[in-house]
């Protein structure tokens, strides 16, 4: 009997080694010190540990079996279940441990948990890829797993975990920060599209613009965000002082305005580059055909080039959005708020869980945006195909 699916086999092996050798949760007397690692079977009790072992064995069996649709489906379902069981086990472990602990003590997620969850997620992805699953099937899988996790969260499964404790003491700020973060991302992506798209079209049409435009955009990319914020304070404050009505639109030296300006400047490079690449990817015979039909150059742009390049343009939008979600974290350094507030406060206190309270939602937001835009791209591709 050979190994038919090496990827799955390696994932099972990594997961098993992680669970055997490292802690599943960590127990710390307060939120500043690292937790003492506690292995899965001691932390979560027999039932979750046995379920994880069983599901792991099922996935292992799937990696050894001859690949077929039922085998791959069973691997995907087992891995998805394993992910949810790992989440439940962590929550349960935290609850049990917290019963006999002081209020300052913290039970955090430890390496074995993170590795197990990552391996399970990758196993689901691998199985779906081998099944050549359509985007709809993938969407169903993603929605099923996330709603499972959301249900567990709603039931209070994770309440005793350290990251939930951080959330509990910050929940009012948290929703504000999340909304702020999305506002920052929306405004900067909007600004980048509004400026980057026309600039990209102009650059694509006039190749001699290309050198200077990319030279400027590349240079902007290299300025550290904190330096850019510092540079923006003085001119923006002077502008707001000279024209007080600007204040009504939130234009000021600190806060949202400099953050959005900086994020737009950083987003311009991928926005312009993808617009240029998209327009250049259009087959010249299609443009010639349009011209032969007597279309004007603006008609060719809107009716031929744009529709044909839309998958590349959307891919650009995906890059810009995901980048903006990550970069918006630094906006906290100029008083614009957002999830970065927790990240920087946590870094200052070395409170890893507070950092996670800012970083995890940003990662999930980026994954969600990436996924939604991927679906849109796939839909456009299908429509574009004959």
Partner 1 sequence: MLATGSAAAASDGKIVVASKIDTEGALLGNMILALLEARGLAVENKIQLGPTNIVRAAILAGQVDIYPEYTGNGALFFHMESDPAWKNWAQGYALVERLCRERNRLVWLTPAPANNTWVIAVRKDLAERHGLKSMDDFARYLAEGGRIKLAASAEFVESPAALPAFEATYGFRLSDEQLLTLSGGNTAATLRAAAEQMSGVNAAMAYGTDGALAALGLVALVDDKGAQIVYAPAPVVREPVLQQHPEIRSTLDPVFATLTLETLQKLNAEIAVEGREGQTVAVSYLKSKHFLP
Range 312-341, binding partner 1 (CB under 8 A): 332-335, 341
- Phi then psi for residue 30, to 5 deg, are -150, 175
Helix axes 256-280, 306-327, angle to 10 degrees: 150
Q: Does 345 bind partner 1 (CB under 8 A)?
A: yes
Q: Does 180 bind partner 1 (CB under 8 A)?
A: no
Q: Which of 30, 129, 281, 296 binds partner 1 (CB under 8 A)?
A: 30
Q: Are strands 106-109 and 36-38 parallel, antiparallel or unpaired?
A: unpaired
Q: Does 163 bind partner 1 (CB under 8 A)?
A: no
Q: Does 354 bind partner 1 (CB under 8 A)?
A: yes
Q: Rounded to the nearest whole angstrom, what is the least distance from the CB of residue 39 to partner 1 in the complex?
A: 20
Instruction: State CA 353 to chain mean position distance.
Output: 18
Residue located via tokens 């011209």:
291
Q: Rounded to the nearest whole angstrom, what is the least distance from the CB of residue 133 to partner 1 in the complex?
A: 42
Given strand 25-28, what is the order of strands in its sheet? 36-38, 25-28, 106-109
Distance CA(29)–CA(223), nearest Å, equals: 41
Q: Rounded to the nearest whole angstrom, what is the least distance from the CB of residue 30 to partner 1 in the complex?
A: 5
CB closer to partner 1, 155 vs 241: 241
Q: Which of 20, 205, 350, 382 binds partner 1 (CB under 8 A)?
A: 350
Range 82-141, binding partner 1 (CB under 8 A): 103-104
CB-neighbour burial class of residue 68 (10 A; exposed 0-12, middle 13-18, buried 19+): exposed
Distance CA(316)–CA(313), nearest Å, equals: 5
End-to-end CA distance of the chain: 44
Number of residues that bind partner 1 (CB under 8 A): 43
Instruction: State CA 264 to chain mean position distance.
Output: 19
Q: Does 363 bind partner 1 (CB under 8 A)?
A: no
Q: Does 194 bind partner 1 (CB under 8 A)?
A: no
- Phi then psi for residue 25, to 5 deg, are -130, 160
Q: Does 229 bind partner 1 (CB under 8 A)?
A: yes
Q: Which of 4, 16, 173, 371 binds partner 1 (CB under 8 A)?
A: 173
Residues at the contact surface with partner 1, assessed by CB under 8 A: 30-34, 103-104, 165-166, 169-170, 173, 226, 229-230, 233-235, 237-238, 240-242, 244, 247, 252-255, 332-335, 341, 344-345, 347-351, 353-354
């Amino acid at each position: 009997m050979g190994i038919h699916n090496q990827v799955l086999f390696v994932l099972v092996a990594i997961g098993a080694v992680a669970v055997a050798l490292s802690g599943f949760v960590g127990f710390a007397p307060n939120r500043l010190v690292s937790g003492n690692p506690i292995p899965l079977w001691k932390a979560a009790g027999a039932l979750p540990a046995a379920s994880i072992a069983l599901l792991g064995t099922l996935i292992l069996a799937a990696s050894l079996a001859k690949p077929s649709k039922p085998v791959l489906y069973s691997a995907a379902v087992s891995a998805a279940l394993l992910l949810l069981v790992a989440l439940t086990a962590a929550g349960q472990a935290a609850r049990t441990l917290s019963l006999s602990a002081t209020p300052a003590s913290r039970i955090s997620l430890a390496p074995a948990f993170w590795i197990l969850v990552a391996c399970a997620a990758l196993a689901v992805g691998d199985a779906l890829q081998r099944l050549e699953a359509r985007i709809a099937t993938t969407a169903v899988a993603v929605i099923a797993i996330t709603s499972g996790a959301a249900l567990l969260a709603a039931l209070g499964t994770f309440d005793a975990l350290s990251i939930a404790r951080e959330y509990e003491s910050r929940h009012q700020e948290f929703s504000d920060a999340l909304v702020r973060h999305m506002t920052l991302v929306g405004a900067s992506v909007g600004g980048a599209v509004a400026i980057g798209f026309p600039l990209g079209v102009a650059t694509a049409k006039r190749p001699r613009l290309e050198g200077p435009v990319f030279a400027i955009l590349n240079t902007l990319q290299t300025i550290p965000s904190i330096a850019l914020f510092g540079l923006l304070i003085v001119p923006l404050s002077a502008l707001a002082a000279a024209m007080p009505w600007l204040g009504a639109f939130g234009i000021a030296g600190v806060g949202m305005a400099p953050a959005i300006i900086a994020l737009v400047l950083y987003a311009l490079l991928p926005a312009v580059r993808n617009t240029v690449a998209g327009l250049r990817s259009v087959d010249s015979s299609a443009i010639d055909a349009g011209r032969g039909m007597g279309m004007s150059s603006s008609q060719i742009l809107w009716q031929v080039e744009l529709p044909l390049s839309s998958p590349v343009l959307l891919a650009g939008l995906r890059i810009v959005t995901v980048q903006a979600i990550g970069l918006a974290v630094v906006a906290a350094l100029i008083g614009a708020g957002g999830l970065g507030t927790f990240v920087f406060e946590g870094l200052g206190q070395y409170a890893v869980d507070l950092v996670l309270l800012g970083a995890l939602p940003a990662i999930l937001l980026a994954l969600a945006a990436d996924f939604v835009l991927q679906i849109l791209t796939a839909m456009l591709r299908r429509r574009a195909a004959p």
